[in-house]
Amino acid sequence: MNGLIIKDLITLEKQKISTIAGLLFTTIAFLIFWQSTGALLLGAVVLPFLTIFTPFTFRASDEQWKWDTYAISLPVSKKQIVASRYLSCSIISIAYFLFSLALNIGVYFWFQDHSITLHLASAFIGLGVSLLFGFLILPTSFTKGLEVSVWVLVILAIIFIGVVVIIKKANFDIFSLSPTPSQITLLMGLSVATLIGIFIGSYLVSVAMYRKLHS
Amino acid sequence: MGNILEIENLSKKYPDFTLDSLSFSIPQGTIMGMIGENGAGKTTTINLILNEMRKDGGSIKIFGKDHLEYEKAVKERIGVVFDDFHFPDLFNANEMELFLKGIYATWQPKTYRDYLNRFGLPLDKQIKAFSKGMKVKLSFAVALSHQPQLLILDEATSGLDPVMRDEMLDILLEFIQDEKNGVLFSSHITDDLEKITDYITFIHKGKLLFSKTKDELLYHYGLIKCGAETFNQIEKADIIAYRKQDYEWQVLVADKEEARRKYRKCIIDSVTISEIMLLHVKGEKK
Is residue B78 classed as helix, strand or coil in its secondary structure?
strand
Of B75, B85, B152, the CB nearest to A74: B75
Closest listed residue to residue B4, CA positions, set B91, B82, B92, B63 = B63
Give the distance from residue B144's alpha carbon to the nearest chain A alpha carbon, in angstroms.
13
Select from B71, B82, B87, B90 the residue whose CB has the most chain A CBs within 10 Å, as the one to mutate to test that interface. Answer: B90
Q: Which of A3, A4, A70 sits opposite B86 (nearest CB)?
A: A70
Among B50, B85, B105, beta carbon nearest to A73: B50
**Residues on chain B touching A73 (C-beta within 8 angstroms):** 50, 52, 75, 78, 80, 152
Which residues of chain A make contact with B71, given a CB cutoff of 8 A? 75, 77
DSSP notation for A7-76: HHHHHHHTTHHHHHHHHHHHHHHHHHHHHHHHHHHIIIIIHHHHHTTHHHHHHHHHHHHTHHHHHTTSSS
Average pLDDT over residues A77-102: 93
Across the interface, do B80 and A3 touch by the CB < 8 Å criterion? Answer: no
- Cβ contact, residue pair A67, B86, below 8 Å: yes
Chain B: residues touching A (Cβ < 8 Å): 47, 50-54, 71-76, 78, 80, 82, 84-91, 95, 98-105, 152
Q: Which positions in chain A touch B75 (Cβ < 8 Å)?
A: 73-76
Residues from chain A that touch B83, judged by Cβ atoms under 8 A, are none
Question: How far is the alpha carbon of A7 from chain B, nearest alpha carbon, in Å?
Answer: 5
pLDDT band (50, 70, 90) for residue A184: confident
What are the residues facing B213 on neighbouring strands?
A: B199
Instruction: Report the residue count for chain B.
Output: 286
Chain B residue numbers touching A5 (CB-CB < 8 A): 102
Secondary element (H or E) of residue A210: helix A181-213
- Return the closest-CA partner of residue B278 out of B241, B246, B226: B241
Pairing of strands B239-245, B267-270: unpaired
Contact B102 A4 (CB under 8 A): yes
Give the pLDDT band (50/70/90) at residue A174: low
- The whole-angstrom separation of Cα B124 and Cα B127 is 9
Phi and psi torsions of B187, nearest 5° = -155, 150
Nearest chain B Cα distance for residue A9, angstroms? 10
Q: What pLDDT is attached to residue A142?
A: 75
Rg of chain B in Å (alpha carbons): 21
Q: How far apart are CA B188 and CA B155, in angstroms?
A: 7
User: Does the beta-carbon distance from A72 to B52 stay under 8 Å?
Assistant: yes
Mean pLDDT across chain A, nearest whole number? 87
Among A61, A77, A215, beta carbon nearest to B53:
A215
Provide the ipTM: 0.82
Q: Which residue of A has its CA nearest to B73?
A: A75
Shortest Cα distance from A129 to chain B (angstroms)?
A: 29
Return the residue of B nearest to A68 by Cα: B86
Domain positions in chain B = 3-213, 221-282
B128 touches B92 (CB < 8 A): no
The CA distance from B265 to B236, in Å, is 17
Q: Which residue of A has its CA nearest to B99?
A: A3
Hey, what CATH class is B3-213 in? alpha beta
* Cα-to-chain-centroid distance, residue A128: 7
pLDDT at A175 over 70: no
B12-25 per-residue burial string, b: 16 or more CB within 10 A, e: under 16: beeeeebbbebebb
> How far is C-alpha B172 from the chain's CA centre?
12
pLDDT of res. B286: 65
Instruction: Using the Cα atoms of residue A20, residue A26, residue A27 and residue A29 in order, give the sign of their dihedral.
Output: positive
pLDDT for the residue B230? 83
Query: Is residue A176 pLDDT above 80, yes or no?
Result: no
What residue type is B69 in one-letter code? Answer: E
**CB-count burial class (<10 Å; 0-12, 13-18, 19+) for A99:** middle
Q: Is the pLDDT of residue A143 over 80?
A: no
Smallest Cα distance from A215 to chain B, Å: 4
Q: Using CB atoms, which residue from B78, B85, B88 is nearest to A7?
A: B88
Q: Which chain A residues have a beta carbon less than 8 Å from that of B103?
A: 1-4, 74-76
For residue A79, give the chain B residue with the closest CA: B72
Residue B241 pairs in a beta bridge with B252
DSSP of B43-55, one letter per residue?
A: HHHHHHHTTSS--
User: To which H or E segment does residue A198 belong?
Assistant: helix A181-213
In this predicted model, which residue has the larger pLDDT, B44 or A167? Answer: B44
Average pLDDT by stretches of 10, chain B with 286 residues: 92 91 94 92 93 91 93 94 87 93 94 94 92 91 95 88 90 93 92 92 92 90 86 84 86 88 84 89 79
Task: Output A88 or B230, whichever has higher pLDDT.
Answer: A88
